[in-house]
């Protein structure tokens, strides 16, 4: 069977395929008000679980990720930036393909190092962050820290939006 390349006019009409399945997202936060926001914003991408818990025990988060079979984890690092860093490190080995999105209420130096999104910022930033993390995987896994541009070149993820403030 011979494959034919589409003409330029036909190629414009072909919808790009972003993903083949829903993104399973796990949101970990101690803030129940944030639960409603996170579920409203990212549940359209796929099944979303919310866990009220501490980030101080990375192994607990690893167990949650395994139980929920998460593709992406959203970590609320508000006042727990160091713990969030430990969780990201703890997930790198067993789950290198699991993407990480960090949100934080404060623009602290530690939040900037984590490339944190503003916790109460634009909803489209959170949604785009989850979609990007799904593609990129864990930021500590060097082979996965690149995102593909249309021209095939790759680039490192830029600083998070809190860095401009």
Q: Do the beta carbons of residue 72 and residue 28 sit within 8 Å?
A: no
Cα-based angle 41, 114, 100 (whole degrees, multiple of 5): 45
For the segment 141-151, the average pLDDT, to the nearest whole number, is 46
Separation CA 5–CA 88 (nearest Å)? 43
pLDDT digits (tens, 9 = 90+) for 48-97: 999 887 777 778 889 999 999 999 999 999 888 888 889 999 999 899 99
Q: What is the pLDDT of residues 7-30, one digit of tens each?
A: 555 545 544 545 568 999 999 998
User: What pLDDT, on a 0 to 100 scale, did the predictor assign at position 154?
Assistant: 37
121 domain residue, yes or no: yes
Kindly tell me if the per-residue pLDDT of 100 is higher than 80: yes
Does residue 118 form part of some domain? yes
Query: Is 5 a domain residue?
Result: no
User: How many CB atoms are located within 10 Å of the residue 72 CB?
Assistant: 28
> What residues make up the domain containing 56?
21-147+160-164
Q: Is residue 77 part of a domain?
A: yes
Give a yes or no: residue 14 inside a domain.
no
User: Structural domain tally of the chain?
Assistant: 1
Residues 6+ apart with CB under 8 A from 23: 42, 45, 46, 71, 72, 130, 131, 134
Residue 55 CB: number of other CB atoms within 10 A?
A: 23
Residue 15 maps to a domain: no
The residue whose two tokens read 């401009």 is: 164
Residue 34 β-bridge partners:
none
Q: Which two tokens stand for residue 21?
A: 């399945």
Residue 49: inside a domain, yes or no? yes
| 154 assigned to some structural domain | no
CATH of the domain at 128: 3.40.50.2300
| Residue among 83, 79, 153 nearest 119 (CA) | 79
């Amino acid at each position: 069977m011979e494959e034919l390349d589409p003409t330029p006019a036909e190629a414009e009409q072909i919808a790009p395929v972003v993903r083949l399945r829903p993104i399973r997202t796990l949101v970990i936060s101690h803030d129940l008000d944030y639960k409603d926001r996170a579920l409203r914003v990212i549940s359209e991408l796929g099944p979303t679980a919310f866990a009220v818990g501490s980030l101080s025990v990375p192994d607990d988060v690893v167990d949650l990720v395994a139980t929920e079979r998460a593709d992406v984890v959203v970590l609320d690092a508000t006042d727990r930036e160091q713990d969030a860093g430990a969780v990201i490190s703890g997930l790198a080995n067993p789950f290198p393909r699991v993407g990480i999105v960090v949100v934080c209420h404060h623009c602290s130096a530690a939040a900037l190092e984590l490339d944190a999104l503003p916790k109460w910022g634009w909803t489209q930033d959170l949604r785009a962050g989850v979609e990007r993390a799904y593609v990129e995987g864990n930021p500590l896994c060097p082979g996965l820290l690149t995102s593909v541009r249309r021209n095939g070149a790759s680039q490192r993820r830029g600083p998070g939006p809190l860095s401009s403030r």
